[in-house]
Every structure is written in C-alpha cells, then in structure tokens.
Structure 1
Amino acid sequence: MRRDDGTDGAANDSVSEPANGASDSPAHGPAPQGAHDAHDGHREHGAQGAHDADDPPEAGDDADPSALRIEELILGSERRYTPFQAARAAGVSMELAARFWRAMGFADVGQARALTEADVLALRRLAGLVEAGLLSEPMAVQVARSTGQTTARLADWQIDSFLEGLTEPPEPGMTRNEVTYPLVQLLLPELEEFLVYVWRRQLAAATGRVVQAQDDDEMVDRRQAIGFADLVGFTRLTRRLEEEELGELVEAFETTAADIVAAHGGRLIKALGDEVLYVAEDAGTAAEVGLRLIETMAHDETMPELRVGIAFGTMTTRMGDVFGNTVNLASRLTSIAPKDTVLVDGAVRAELTAAGEAPESEKESEDLSGFRFALQPLYQRPVRGLGVVEPWLLRRRL
C-alpha cells in the first residue's frame, strides 16, 4: 500500500519496536496522557548516564565527548530516547514519528539513544496540529519536509562558509572543538533570534501575496512572470578553473543575482550553480530584473556572459518551487537566447504593452520616449515539447 508521502506503507518506518518488548509499552497508538512523564520502571527518564543492562547503546558512546558537548549545547538537551521511546513519550505512533523524522531529512538511527526532549516536543507539536484539525497528516509531513530541506541548506552553508573560518585553532595544540564550543555558545542565541525574525518577515510577505489572490485557484495556479538566468559556457569553466575559484565564481554569481532580484521586486526561487530561477508578480518587474542581471554581469570582467529567458502565465507552486509549461518555456527561451540578451515570450510582450511599458510597434513616426522597454520580434521556431513559439528580444529603451 502506498502512503500519501509516496513511501511504501508495508515497509517498517525508521525503526521497529524493541524485540523483547520489555523496555516500553507495546503500542503503536498514543500513550496515555502523562505517560511520557512517568518512569514506568524504565530509565529513559532516570538520572543522567544511568542505564539498565539491556538498554540500547547510546548513539554517542564512541563519539568525541567534546563533540557531544557541542551537540547538547545546540540541541539544548542530551540524548536520552530511542526513536520508539520518543514516539511513545510524544504520544504518537511509531509510523507517524518515522515519517516526520525522515521528512525532516534525518537518517534512521536504529534503536540507539539519539533523540532528545526537543525531538519529543517537536513530534508532540506536529501531532497536536493534526489532532486539532489545523493540519492534515500529509500537510504536516510536508511542513516537516519543507522546513528540513530549507534549514539543512542553511546549516550546511553556515558550517562550510561561516563557522569553519571562525573556528581555526588560534594556538598550536588546540583542537577545533575547543574553539567551537564557546563560539557557538555566543552565536547561537543571536543567530536563532535572527532566523526567527527573517522567517517572520518572509512569512508576512508570502501571506500578503496569497491574500491578494483573486480566488482559491489563483492561490495554487498563479499567473506570474518567471525568469531564468544562465551563465554561458559554464561547463567549460568547470574544466578550466580550480575548485576553489569555481566555488568563488558561483557564490559571487548567486549573491549578485539574489541581490538584484530582491532589490527590484522579484523573488528568488532557487539557484543551481550556473543558473538562477526567479518569479515576479508582473512582467515589468521580471523584465527589469532580467536586464539588470545582464547589465551588472557585463560590467564584471570575472563573470562569463549571461543569457535570460522570461515567460508569463500560469504556474503551480509547491513547497516554494514552481512547475508547469510556463516554467518550461522560460527555460527553453534561455537556452536559445544569444549571450548577453533577454528573450521573452508573446505573453510577456502582451503584458508589457498592456501596461504601457513597451510600444505595440517600433514605427519611427511614433513618439516612443515614454516607454521603458523595446521589443524586437525574432523568427518563430519550434521549441521541444512546447510547439512553435515567437521569441521577442527585450531591450531597455534609452
């Protein structure tokens, strides 16, 4: 049987119940209220470091004690639960707990004591939202997955590019762990507060976009402009540049592109090394972003040439990403665009002319001084999977 998160319901999720059944109640169902606070003759709520002879091993038994200290500092509590015990303490089924855990992007840990009070609280909160009817179970799994994917990338970046540089041992004989602990102790509360602030800001902006939608269908399948910006000749660069140089170039491109998209009213969907994908609520904003990207990169001698494709239409949004024929068309336009140019589809042209931002035609007899953009038709051509399209070359009107 397939479950609604696409995994096989017949397979055991994450971890099976303890084989002897002695260390916990035999349920997959919720534990009685308060059961997670009772000792029940077991030691998972006992004194720190105390274990029965048949208790599962600690996940960190062979780990560096200083590394465990850093983990406890970040998580706010020590490892004390097996996955089965954590599910029982949270009052959720083992199956649901495993779905949440995997959705957040964490590996199975068998029957090791690897989970903390914070893990129990998180399970309890998600399950509580489902029980209260605020979220369906599939939606709660999506919340866990989207949050896990987003924060995993953030955490990797912070460790690779931020903490790594700050935790170089300042004196011979010092280990990185000895330097890291006090640094994390100082930074953690500040970074946590900042993360919550940015999330609230982003949530307010996203909510604003949703409440302005005309109807429920528009909230899911929305008409927007979508733009791709692609570095020309990136594959050749990967063979010519050292890894460190390539990494610096990609970071500079992504940073510059993200700043331009945000500053001019667009929204960055994702960056894929040599390519960025962004959306805008109107064609004029998307066009301005595309031209700004070309102009900015052209003035940077370290950057390859850039090409941009923009389409306008309906697209489906899922977990912060966008899908649909409009997205595919923007990608195809990018692939056929000459270097340092922006190609748009007929729908973008129609939006720009309807908004008075580009003329219907380029007749010399007409006064064209009041328009922001110029549009030049190019030859119609077949585009794989999308039929014949007529691309338009977008320029800034000087």
Structure 2
Amino acid sequence: MNESLTETELAERAGVTPGFVRRLGDLGIIVPVEGGEDYPASDARRVRVAQACDRAGLPLDGIGKAVAEGRLSFAFLEASQYEWAGFSGKTYRQVCDELGLSMGLVRGIHQALGWAPPDEGDIVREDDLELLPALGISVAAGIAEDTVIRTTRVYGESLRRIAQAEAQVFRTSIEEPLLRSGMSQPEMMQAASAFGAQYMALFDPAFLRIYHRQQEHVWIDDFVRQAEDTLDDMGIHERLTHPPAMCFLDLTGYTRLTEEHGDETAADLSASLASLVQRVSQHHGGSPVKYLGDGVMFFFKEPGAAVVSALEMVEEAPAEGLPPAHVGLHAGPVVQQDGDYYGRTVNVAARIAGRAGPDEVLVSEEVAQLSSGSSGVRFEDLGPVELKNVSRPIRLLRASRVSGTPAPDQPT
C-alpha cells in the first residue's frame, strides 16, 4: 500500500512550511489521495520542484493553471530516478553531537559540495545521515578538517560536471527531439522519464564500477611507488630521480572560430580535442589534468615521452578537424594537491606554450636534456627567451621529428 502523509508530515518530508503545501493543494499542483485529506508520500518531490519554481520567480498560480489545462505535468516525478532523499527528524546540532563533528566542518563540507551551509537548528536530510558518518571516521583517522573539505570539493566539482553533462545530453538528445515530434510537455516527460528509469537502473552500478576501476589504477600506482622506495632503500633497485614534465597544449585561433561559427562549433571542437589528447597522452604515459577551454594541461612522469606525445598531438590535430595546435613543456618539481598540480614548473610551461606558434612544440632546456634518449626527435636551440612573469630568461628549444622518422604506430 502506498504511504500517505498529512499536510504537516508532507511539509516536514519536503522541508517546507505547511502553508506552502496548503497553497499547492489549493492551486491543484498536488492532489490529496482519493476520498481523504492526506497526500501521497511521493508528492514531496512535487512540492520540492514547485518550491524551486517559486524561488526562480515563476508564478505558482500560473503553474497551477498550466497543470489544470494539461500543458504542464509533475507526474513524471513518480519514476524511480526521482526518489530523492527527504528530511529526517534530527537537527544538525544533534547529529554533530552524536558523531563528534564540528559545525564548522559540516558547513565547510556543504559549501565544498556547492550546497547552502546549514545552521545548527536546520533539519538534516536523510542522505546527509549517510554522508556525515564518513566524515567522522576520516577525522577520527587523523585527517585534518581542511584536508577533508578540500578533497570533498574535488568530489563535488567532478560529480556536478557529470550531472550537468548528463542533463545536457538528455535535454538535446531525448527531450528536444520528442517535443519536435509533436509531443506535449507532459507526454514528453513521461516518455523521457521511462527511458531515464531504465538507464539509471543500469548506470548507477556501472558508475560505481567506473569509479572503483579508477581507484584500482591509482592504488596500484601508489603501491608501485612504495615498492620502488623500499627496493631503493635496500639497494636492490636504483630509483630514477629526474623530475616530471608539465605540458600545455593550446589551439590557435580557437576564440575566433567559436565567435564566427557559434557555441555548437565550440562544443564540437572541445569534444574532438578531449578525444585526441586523452588517447595520445595516455598512450605515452601522460594524463590530462584539466581542460582550459581552448587547451589542456598535462602531467608526464617522463619528459621524453611528453615531447613525443606533444609532437604526435600537434601532427594529428588537423585530421581531427581541429585548428593548429601549439605546445609548451617544462620539467621540474611540482606540488600535487586535490588532483591538480602547482608551482613554478607549471607556470613556466604555460608561458612557454604562449610563445609557441601554430604547429610548434617548444621545450625548456631541462626538458631537452632529459629527452636526450628519445629516438626520432631533434631540438633546435632558440637561445634564452624572456617570458611574461618569469624572473629570468629561459632557454627554449624547438622540438621536431628527425626527417623521415614516422610517428609512433605508423608503418615504416
């Protein structure tokens, strides 16, 4: 039997006032169960969506009119993927006392995730009751609160991008074509939600599998570093001590192209760029760190592999329908934090990229020296060069393939 809630219970579940629920009932946006005054528990979702519309400045009486005329419907919220968490009966102060957490940490976590920071007397959402204990064991294990917050920010930003990308694909590939086919908004949402329920039933566990596979890769890499340290200490294996390389790739004329051809062209170029750089950089042991609109920042453990990868990306860009690319590389110590890299090495690499011309790969003297064993690559010394916001001149070299040397994986 489906659960039903009183007006007050529904308000508590949705995190609104009973007066707001009463108003939605008067407008016909929510309807009591047949023959009674209570509401279906699933109406908590309708209430929260209606509240979002109200906060966005949409007139609730207008929404009620659209619902009455069949031009707008909340019925799609019955689908399983919309079973959002409700509100518990506990305040944040109560939960913090139970778990030994500070309100400062809880507020910082909410801000890091992009949510409004709660006050002590606010009612805790049911999904927070699952999140907050994880914070508790992290702090108890000795992880500093600011570190927990920084790491959570990485989770929040990454997951928000995933949710936004999904919504964009769903809107342009499912919703808009259904509307163009002649469906009304209620019909479209019912059809789209039916697909969404099937998709999420399969994708939720697949999403965790992808995450765990990423963990597998990173954790194995961490163990290899530990093993290398141990063998180095025992004198069994001598660890390579050269620094890593940071690489910046930019597209020439990207801004002009997007201004002339519009946002869709920009999106297509970004997708092509992401496909190219991920495939090529990973093949050479590198990893894209972040995408910068018209460019990408990479990390490479091996400077020599970074140069070969850069040349290959520049060579392949035109075949991918991309504008000419140019690359700058520098090697040196870096600071890794929250999935990103910082320090002078990063800044110098970015400045070198800014000096490179179309189809050009420029490297610092450090990169060239560490790439001496890279076959098929030669360097042309350009001498010391003044770079913006770099205190001293940097000796730059232009990297290119030795004449007649094929790119990797090409037939000889």
Same-fold status (TM-score > 0.5): yes
Alignment of 1:263-302 (within 5 A): 263-300=283-320, 302=321
Does residue 1:210 correspond to 2:222, yes or no? Answer: yes
Does residue 223 in structure 1 map to residue 243 in structure 2?
A: yes
2:365 match: 346
1:394 corresponds to:
399
Residue 152 of structure 1 is aligned with which of 148, 160, 168? 160
Structure 2 unaligned regions, length at least 5:
18-46, 52-72, 231-240, 406-412
Structure 1 match to 2:8: 51
Return the offset for 1:204.
2.5
Correspondence for 1:318 among 330, 337, 349: 337
Aligned to 1:121: 130
Q: Does structure 1 retain, via aligned residues, the 8 Å contact 2:258–2:265?
A: no
Q: Pick closer, same or farther for the CA change 1:259–1:162 going to 2, 3 Å.
A: farther
1:92-241 matches, within 5 Å, as 92-108=101-117, 116-131=125-140, 133=141, 135-162=143-170, 164-168=172-176, 169=178, 172-175=183-186, 176-213=188-225, 223-241=243-261
| Deviation of the 1:239 alpha carbon | 2.4
Structure 1 residue runs without a partner (length 5+) = 1-45, 358-370
Identity across the alignment (%) = 20
Match of 1:379 in 2: 383
Residues in 2 aligned to 1:222 and 1:264: alpha-carbon distance in whole angstroms? 17
Given that 1:87 and 1:97 are in contact with CA atoms closer than 8 Å, whether structure 2 keeps it comes out as no
Contact map agreement 2:92 2:119 (CA 8 A) in 1: no
- Whether the 8 Å CA contact 1:308–1:342 is kept in 2: the answer is yes
Q: Secondary structure at the match of 1:57?
A: coil
Aligned residue pairs, count: 329
TM-score (norm: length of structure 1): 0.73
Deviation at 1:379, TM superposition (A): 2.7
- Report deviation, 1:158: 1.3
SS of 1:51 mapped into structure 2: helix
The answer to whether the 8 A contact 2:103-2:120 is kept is: no
Look up the match of 1:368: none
Task: State the Cα distance separating 1:141 from its structure 2 match.
Answer: 1.5
Distance in 2 between residues matched to 1:100 and 1:320, nearest whole Å: 18
Q: 1:308 aligns with which of 327, 330, 349?
A: 327
Deviation at 1:81, TM superposition (A): 3.8
Measured in 1, the distance between the counterparts of 2:139 and 2:317 equals 48
Secondary structure at the aligned position of 1:277 is classed as: strand
> Is this contact kept in 2: 1:87–1:94, CA < 8 A?
yes
CA distance in 2, matches of 1:53, 1:299: 58
Question: How far did residue 257 of structure 1 move?
Answer: 1.8
- 1:61 to 1:321, Cα distance in 2 relative to 1, 3 A: closer
Separation (CA, whole Å) in 2 of partners of 1:144 and 1:327: 24
- Check whether the contact 1:222–1:315 (CA below 8 A) recurs between aligned residues: no
Is the 8 Å Cα contact of residues 87 and 120 (structure 1) preserved in structure 2? no
Alignment CA distance shift 1:185-1:116 (3 Å): farther
2:116 aligned counterpart, secondary structure: coil
1:274-302, Cα deviation, whole Å (9 max, x unpaired): 011111110122112101111111334x3
